[in-house]
Amino acid sequence: MDPALLTILRCPGCKASGLSDLRAPHCPACGVTIGLSGGVLDVIQASAEPTASSAEQRLMQSQLVARLYDRTWRPAFVRLFAGKGASAELGGVGGEMFIHKHSLAIEEREGPWLDLSCGPGAFTRAIGAAAPGALVVGLDISHAMLEVAATRTRAYSNVALVRGDAHALPFVDGSIGGVNNAGALHVYDDPEQVFREIWRVLRPGGIYVGSTFAEAPSIVGKVVARAAGIRRFAPSELRSWLQRLGFADYEDLRVGGAIIFRARRP
Ligand SMILES: C[S@@+](CC[C@H](N)C(=O)[O-])C[C@H]1O[C@@H](n2cnc3c(N)ncnc32)[C@H](O)[C@@H]1O
C-alpha cells in the first residue's frame, strides 16, 4: 500500500492527523488501532459500526451482488433508473468512466484522488491507471465490494483501499485534490453531510465529480426506488445544495434519468 496514505489519514477516534506504521496502523496520539485485512484499511471502529438502513444498502454488503455488480447489477440499475436510451447513450460503464475522467481533468490536476463509494473498484482502477504518479484512494463501506476492488486494483501500487463511511471521511482537512463519487449519492442516509465532508477534505481548487439519478422515468423504476430506499435528485436541488455549501462552477450533464455533475471548492 502506498505510504503516502498515512499522511492524509486522520484518526477516526481523536481526529489527529498522521497515523503511523502501515503494517500495524495506529494513532500515535490516542492509541486507536486501525484494522488491516486483505490490503484494505478499516477505519470503522467496532463500536461505531453503522447499520444499513435501506434494502439497497444491505444488498451492497452481499458478496453475490459485489461479484455480479459490474456485469449485471449496474447495467440493469442504470437501465431501470436512467432509461433504456440513456444506458446506450452513456456507453455503459466505459462511457461513464470517460465522462468522469474528463470531468475530473486528471491530467491537469494533482492528486491525491478519492474514489468515494468505490464499490468493486472499476472507477478506482481507471483513475489509478490515468494518474500513475498520484495516490488514488478507493473508499467504501462494504467489505464485499472492497474485497472485489482489492483483487482488481492489486497491480496498481498507487491505489489504496479504505473501509470507511462517506458521512465521516477519515482524511485530513484539505488533503484531497479531487473526489470521484459515481452512482452513490442516492444510497446515502444524509447526502448533505457527505457534501460537507467532501468540501472539508478537498483542498482549495479541488474538484468534485458525482453522478446519480433524477426522478425515475418509468413506473417500475419509481416503485422499485421507493421499495429499495433509493433517493432521486432534481438537478436544481443538487446545484443549490452545493452552492449553499460554498462549491463553485456547478455544471451538470443529463442523460435520460442520469445526472453527472461537477463542482469546485474555490
Ligand atoms: C451503487 S454502488 C456504486 C459503486 C461505484 N461507485 C460505481 O459507480 O460502480 C454504491 C456504493 O456506495 C457504497 N456506500 C453506501 N453507503 C455508504 C457510506 N455510508 N459510505 C461509503 N460508501 C457507501 C455501497 O457499499 C456501494 O458500493
- Please tell me the distance from the alpha carbon of residue 181 to that of residue 206, in angstroms, as a whole number: 14
Assign 217 a pLDDT band (cuts: 50, 70, 90).
low
Residue 145 has phi, psi (to 5 degrees) of -65, -40
- Please tell me the distance from the alpha carbon of residue 16 to that of residue 30, in angstroms, as a whole number: 8
Model pLDDT, residue 219: 76
Topology, domain 35-264: Rossmann fold (3.40.50)
Q: How far is the CA of 243 from the centre of ligand 1 (A)?
A: 24
- By alpha-carbon position, which residue is closest to atom 17 of ligand 1? 141
Closest of 172, 174, 161 to residue 14, by C-alpha: 172
List CB contacts of 106: < 8 A, sequence separation 6 or more: 113, 127, 130, 131, 178
Residues with CB under 6 A from ligand 1: 57, 60, 74, 117-119, 122-123, 140-142, 145, 165-167, 182-184, 187-188
Domain boundaries, the chain: 35-264
C-alpha dihedral (58, 171, 22, 124), degrees to nearest 10:
60
Give one DSSP letter per residue of 34-47, joined into a string: -EEETTEEE---GG
Q: How far is the CA of 174 from the centre of ligand 1 (A)?
A: 22
pLDDT digits (tens, 9 = 90+) for 174-215: 999 999 999 999 999 999 999 999 999 999 999 999 999 887
What is the model's pTM? 0.95
Decide if pLDDT at 50 tops 90: no
